[in-house]
Amino acid sequence: MPRPRRIVLLRHGESVGNIDDTVYEREPDHALALTALGRAQAVEAGTRLRETFGDEGVSAYVSPYRRTLETFRALRLEPGRVRVREEPRLREQDWGNWQEREDVRLQKAYRDTYGHFFYRFAQGESGADVYDRVGAFLESLYRSFEAPDHPPNVLLVTHGLTMRLFCMRWFHWSVAEFECLSNPDNGSFRTLVLGPDGRYRLDRPFERWTTPQPYDLWG
């Protein structure tokens, strides 16, 4: 089964929600647009990605949120070399519908104490829920590799938490390892590179805000 040489995970550019958390009281999370800086970040990412992909084909999957769709368009990839589809399973962690600012801040504080993987927002998802739908997407992605004309590159335009959970699922990281990782910056990406031994490796690690505590399953 042919497999792509690289799988690129790109976080969307800065959105209005990244700089003003009161906007969630007035606009749905999925409808938030990029800021001027976010568009510039996406354009810069596109320059780097075009250099990475060269004249090779790309299979792209984009979260259906406005900020990820705008990020993809700003990449300015060559349409003739890219086949793209909208992929709802790569969306942001659901926090609920209209969000009250102080309630969200309180729930985030609870999540920091409880744990980002297991804490479930009152009207939304837990990190574990996102992990499950990312796993379902991976099954579809694996099946796509069976096509004889599958491009040598895969691009996922998604969100910070989803990127970390994708890698957690792919590399079989523990919950403790996931909990110590920070989101990548807006407009930055990580690449899973296929090695000569047939295994994928991350081109650079996610930053850690703490050290995971080891747990001995046999202890």
Residue spans of the domains in the chain: they are 6-202
Q: What per-residue confidence (pLDDT) applies to 104?
A: 82
Q: What per-residue confidence (pLDDT) applies to 156?
A: 98
Active site annotation includes 12: yes
CATH code assigned to 6-202: 3.40.50.1240
Q: Cα 66 to chain center, whole Å?
A: 14
- Three-class DSSP labels, the chain: CCCCCEEEEEECCCEHHHHCHHHHHCCCHHHCCECHHHHHHHHHHHHHHHHHHCCCCEEEEECCCHHHHHHHHHHCCCHHHEEEEECHHHCCCCCCCCCCHHHHHHHHHHHHHHCCCCCECCCCCEHHHHHHHHHHHHHHHHHHCCCCCCCCEEEEEECHHHHHHHHHHHHCCCHHHHHCECCCCCCCEEEEEECCCCCEEECCCCCECCCCCCCCCCC
In whole angstroms, what is the distance from residue 86 CA to residue 73 CA?
12
Q: Radius of gyration (Cα) for the chain, nearest Å?
A: 18
pLDDT in 10s for each residue of the chain, 219 residues: 579 999 999 999 999 999 998 999 999 999 999 999 999 999 999 999 999 999 999 999 999 999 999 999 999 999 999 999 999 999 999 998 888 888 888 988 999 999 999 999 988 999 999 999 999 999 999 999 999 999 999 999 999 999 999 999 999 999 999 999 999 999 999 999 999 999 999 999 999 988 877 777 777
- Give the pair of three-digit tokens for residue 6: 């690289």
Q: What per-residue confidence (pLDDT) applies to 1?
A: 59
Backbone phi, psi, residue 191, to 5°: -125, 130
Q: What per-residue confidence (pLDDT) applies to 210?
A: 81
pTM of the full predicted structure? 0.95
Active site annotation includes 44: no
In whole angstroms, what is the distance from residue 47 CA to residue 121 CA?
37
From the candidates 14, 70, 87, 92, which is the catalytic residue? 92
Q: What per-residue confidence (pLDDT) applies to 21?
A: 86
- Give the pair of three-digit tokens for residue 153: 């590159």
